[in-house]
Amino acid sequence: MVTLDQGDPLAVTLPQVALLASPLLGPAMWSRTADALVDHGWRVLVVPRLAEAPRIPTMVLEHLLNCLPVRSALALVAHSNAGLYLPSLAAERRVVASVYADAALPTANGATPLAPPAMQDFLQQLANDDGLLPPWTDWWNEEEFVSLLPDAASRAAVVAEQHRLPMTYFTATLEAPVGWISKPAAYLAFGDTYDAERTQARRWGWPVETLQGGHLHPLVAPGGVAAAIDRLLRQQLDRPTTTE
């Protein structure tokens, strides 16, 4: 088990960091950042991809729960659509800190659609007659995708791990546990694409950081992303604990 140095203000054992990719992508999304986080002294679990494309969010939630240790203290870091699952995971596991990395946020109360209405309209135009969507990288033109990942090897790894999701996934909803926004959390934005979510995180009083980059920044600048995650996690662990 990894512990902090004696000079570190956190005289506690570090939790294990679990990196969650969007169900549309795969663990390659986090591969380089995982290595960089190890250099910061963290034990890291990159959650594997689902064996098949999820049709409903319950399939994703069950997969994530099966991959996460039951008794160990965890720090969860979720990218993109995976952010919607963090509150439900925190209700079932010992989650002591979390970071939403350019990620979707559930509503404070009630059910959240897996895609907002405007996105659903966009996806309906992409779906085939059976309601099946193309892989995520085919949602954009080649120039847009290349701008997100200039490195050909990274692009190939991302493309290889994708699932083709059905529209039924994005029209479904997921209900977060009551009071979830009071749990330890932080927001890490890559540029301004998720500005609304970043603004909401600030309203909730969470620590917030922004790194200038694209949505797949963890593969482009893993060192900078790992350093930001390290800071945000330690900020949460340094807060005084309260008893209910």
Query: Distance of CA 91 to CAs 37, 131, 180, Å?
Result: 25, 32, 8
Could you tell me which residues are beta bridge partners of residue 3? 13
pLDDT tens string 185-207: 999 999 999 999 999 999 999 99
What pLDDT, in 10s, does the model give residues 39-95? 999 999 999 999 999 999 999 999 999 999 999 999 999 999 999 999 999 999 999
pLDDT for 9 beyond 50: no
Quickly tell me which residue has 């050909």 as its tokens.
152
pLDDT digits (tens, 9 = 90+) for 116-175: 999 999 999 999 999 999 999 999 898 988 888 889 999 999 999 999 999 999 999 999
- Give the pLDDT band of residue 26 (cuts 50, 70, 90): very high
Residue 25 predicted with pLDDT over 80: yes
Q: Which two tokens stand for residue 97?
A: 């800190």
3-state helix, strand, coil in the chain (%, to 5): 40, 20, 40
3-state secondary structure of 79: strand
Please give the pLDDT value at position 239: 64
Helix (H, G, I), strand (E, B) or coil at 62: helix
Give the confidence band of 114 by pLDDT, cuts at 50, 70, 90: very high
Domain boundaries, given as residue ranges, for the chain: 16-237
Helix, strand or coil, per DSSP, at residue 25: coil
Answer whether residue 5 shows pLDDT above 90. Answer: no
Complete DSSP assignment for 109-161? SSEEESS-HHHHHHHHHH--TTSBPPPGGGGS-HHHHHHH---HHHHHHHHHT
The pLDDT value given to residue 13:
82
User: Token pair of 69, please?
Assistant: 């240790």
Rounded to a whole number of angstroms, the CA Rg of the chain reads: 17
CATH superfamily of the 16-237 domain: Alpha/Beta hydrolase fold, catalytic domain (3.40.50.1820)
Amino acid identity at 73 = A
